[in-house]
Amino acid sequence: MKKTSLVVAISACLTISAHTVSASVTDQDILNDHKMTGQVVTNGMGLQGQRFSPLNIINTGNVNKLVPIWSFSFGGEKQRGQEAQPLIYDGVMYVTASYSRVFAIDLKTGEELWQYDARLPDGIMPCCDVVNRGAAIHGDTIFFGTLDAKLVALDRKTGKAKWKKKLGDYKAGYSITAAPLIVEGKVIMGVSGGEFGIIGKVEARDAETGKLVWSRPTIEGHMGMLNGKESTMTGKKNATWPGDMWKYGGGATWLGGTYDPETRTIFYGTGNPAPWNSHLRPGDNLYSTSRIAFNPDNGEIKWHYQTTPNDGWDFDGVNEVVSFNQDGKKFAATADRNGFFYVLDREEGKLVNASPFVRDITWAKEIDLKSGRPVYNDDNRPSDPTKSGDGKKGKSVFAVPSFLGGKNWMPMSYSQQTELFYVPSNEWGMDIWNEPVSYKKGAAYLGAGFTIKPLFEDYIGSLKAIDPRSGKIVWEYKNHAPLWGGVMTTAGGLVFMGTPEGYFKAFDAKSGDELWKFQTGSGIVGQPITWEQNGEQYVSVLSGWGGAVPLWGGEVAKRVRHLNQGGSVWTFKIPN
């Protein structure tokens, strides 16, 4: 039985743009996604992850006329965090939802064409809600990951499974929440589960068969795979990890990756080292909390940049690497959970610039531009519980930002028009202390306790426009609740973003002025997209409050406990 849809006004007159009518999605379609306005076939609206559209039909002069034309409900009782970015191809929207579901929706009517529900076993262990951040498409196949750590290939016309591949043991804490990446006919995928002492990795599989091409672990000491055989070791065993700590080292690749075709490089970020208690693992703990550049042919590491060596605050390093060119040079930018905005030379991984983008950072004084390393405030690292307190709990410190980060998973956007980055950030801190811990399969592997607290009474969330040349914050929009959704920019001079309070908003990209908003009925933690059909521009976003904030937010969670959950996708246009 198909779910009901709200179809408003003139939705019946929608036609499919010739831009998207082809037999199937090709590698060339994927490479050109950032400039093909009639489709969205990559997570990031282009492989480089800029989330910028060249469309300007909707612009600063008319965005106030934007209205909804249909809303589709994901239905049921599974209304948890909806963090996905939809895909658009050949008259159909493909979108994932909580609890590892996929929907195909008719763009003309907003009606369901098919639905796929993964059969999840009891005992799955997602750390930060039952979210899914999107799918990938290649040929006539839709790819997505499940909460029991499977990569699934579906027929895009019927929703029937073509193949399934297991990427890890869910009983050990492995799961998948990220959207896959398609590079030259290969499906690239990472894993979640760093809080359980799993080993992060990036894998490439043949898109047609699902056969493993290569696998690269992200913790030193572990062996990679290439064409069914062991290849090379990641790093050098025990170089930056003591004893056997590398065996359960974390470094999860839980956000997904980007690809730069100019340098033929896959970029992935890696999560926290395990456990959180940094005194148990002296050393840099490579390659956790890093941005890693991979060779797409064999998975070998081309270079890495570590943002928080010997991370003791769960700052991770998974945040997206966005490729951009400026002043004739090839750069990559990333906004870290640790509160610093980094610009790297993306050919060699060398640090170009690093600047704070949130206020009152306590864990480090600055980033040394020569060494690329943080200058720590040693007294702001949680203490060793065996050398302070009663041996069961170390001395607590108040650290800024909190472990949920200056910017968490929610993707930023780069505007080719303004040459600014638009970063969804949060201003908060935490009481954090260390505790003794030992590894046990399937159990939380933290060795720390924490309470997150707001820094300011009037706001936590902050959308910031950042100049990558100087690190200067050009403008800022403050939001009472934390921001937890993605950002999109367009050549119409607009920035689109949703809020936990349920508003989908459009801002002037140059000034930060709010130009339009619409109440969707539940908090927005999804990622907006836009596309063109029959000479008209459309915008879509998921609505459905959830994610890590209400689960881990401590005192901050009090600000959002009144928000209603939901599960829907809204589509907008300007009526004729």
If pLDDT is split at 50, 70 and 90, which confidence band does 389 have?
low
Fill in the DSSP letter of residue 317.
B
Q: Give the separation between CA 199 and CA 169, rounded to whole angstroms.
A: 11
Residue 431 among the catalytic residues: no
Spatial contact of 256 and 296, defined as CB atoms under 8 Å apart: no
With a CB cutoff of 8 Å and minimum separation 6, the contacts of 262 are: 323, 325, 330
With a CB cutoff of 8 Å and minimum separation 6, the contacts of 192 are: 126, 127, 174, 175, 176, 177, 178, 252, 254
Of the listed 260, 284, 311, 314, which one is catalytic? Answer: 314
If pLDDT is split at 50, 70 and 90, which confidence band does 165 have?
very high
pLDDT (0 to 100) of residue 262: 98
pLDDT (0 to 100) of residue 542: 98
Which amino acid is located at 340 in the chain?
F
Structural fold of domain 5-573: Methanol Dehydrogenase; Chain A (2.140.10)
Average pLDDT over residues 449-478: 97
Q: Give the separation between CA 270 and CA 225, rounded to whole angstroms.
A: 19
Handedness of CA 63, 65, 70, 72 (dihedral sign): positive
Backbone phi, psi, residue 64, to 5°: -65, -10
Between 477 and 16, the higher pLDDT residue: 477
Q: Which tokens sit at 201?
A: 């990795």
Find the farthest-apart pair of alpha carbons in the chain and give their distance in angstroms, rounded. 71
Task: Give me the chain's average pLDDT, please.
Answer: 94
Report residue 477 CA to chain centroid gap. Answer: 21
The yes-or-no verdict on residue 149 having pLDDT over 90 is yes
With a CB cutoff of 8 Å and minimum separation 6, the contacts of 2 are: 111, 112
Residue 258 β-bridge partners = 267
- Map residue 255 onto helix, strand or coil: coil
If pLDDT is split at 50, 70 and 90, which confidence band does 22 have?
low
Between 335 and 9, the higher pLDDT residue: 335
The yes-or-no verdict on residue 12 having pLDDT over 90 is no
Q: Give the separation between CA 29 and CA 268, rounded to whole angstroms.
A: 22
Q: Which tokens sit at 377?
A: 């405030």
Spatial contact of 167 and 189, defined as CB atoms under 8 Å apart: yes
The yes-or-no verdict on residue 243 having pLDDT over 60 is yes
Residue 356 β-bridge partners = 340
Pairing of strands 101-106, 351-356: unpaired
Q: Give the separation between CA 526 and CA 82, rounded to whole angstroms.
A: 6
Q: Give the separation between CA 471 and CA 493, rounded to whole angstroms.
A: 21
What are the CA-CA distances from residue 183 to residues 42, 45, 141, 204, 294 (Å)? Answer: 10, 14, 14, 9, 12
Q: Give the separation between CA 425 and CA 427, rounded to whole angstroms.
A: 7
Average pLDDT over residues 419-427: 98
Q: Give the separation between CA 496 and CA 509, rounded to whole angstroms.
A: 9
CA dihedral 261, 266, 267, 271 (to 10 degrees): 160
pLDDT (0 to 100) of residue 4: 42
Which amino acid is located at 186 in the chain?
K
Between 540 and 14, the higher pLDDT residue: 540
Spatial contact of 147 and 176, defined as CB atoms under 8 Å apart: yes
Q: For the chain, which residues make up each domain, given as ranges?
A: 5-573
If pLDDT is split at 50, 70 and 90, which confidence band does 78 have?
confident
Spatial contact of 477 and 512, defined as CB atoms under 8 Å apart: yes
pLDDT > 70 fraction of the chain, expressed in percent and rounded? 96
HSE toward the beta carbon, residue 151, CA cutoff 13 A: 31
Q: Give the separation between CA 183 and CA 316, rounded to whole angstroms.
A: 25
pLDDT (0 to 100) of residue 6: 43
The yes-or-no verdict on residue 16 having pLDDT over 50 is no
Fill in the DSSP letter of residue 566.
-
What are the CA-CA distances from residue 306 to residues 270, 273, 317, 367 (Å)? Answer: 9, 12, 8, 12
Q: Give the separation between CA 524 and CA 500, rounded to whole angstroms.
A: 5
Highest mean pLDDT of the ranges 21-30, 60-69, 380-389: 60-69
Pairing of strands 223-226, 67-73: unpaired
If pLDDT is split at 50, 70 and 90, which confidence band does 561 have?
confident
Read off the pLDDT of residues 318-372 as tens digits, 9 standing for 90 and up: 999 999 999 999 999 999 999 999 999 999 999 999 999 999 999 999 999 999 9
Q: Tell me: cis bond preceding 401? Omega within 30 of 0 counts.
A: yes
Backbone phi, psi, residue 321, to 5°: -100, 115
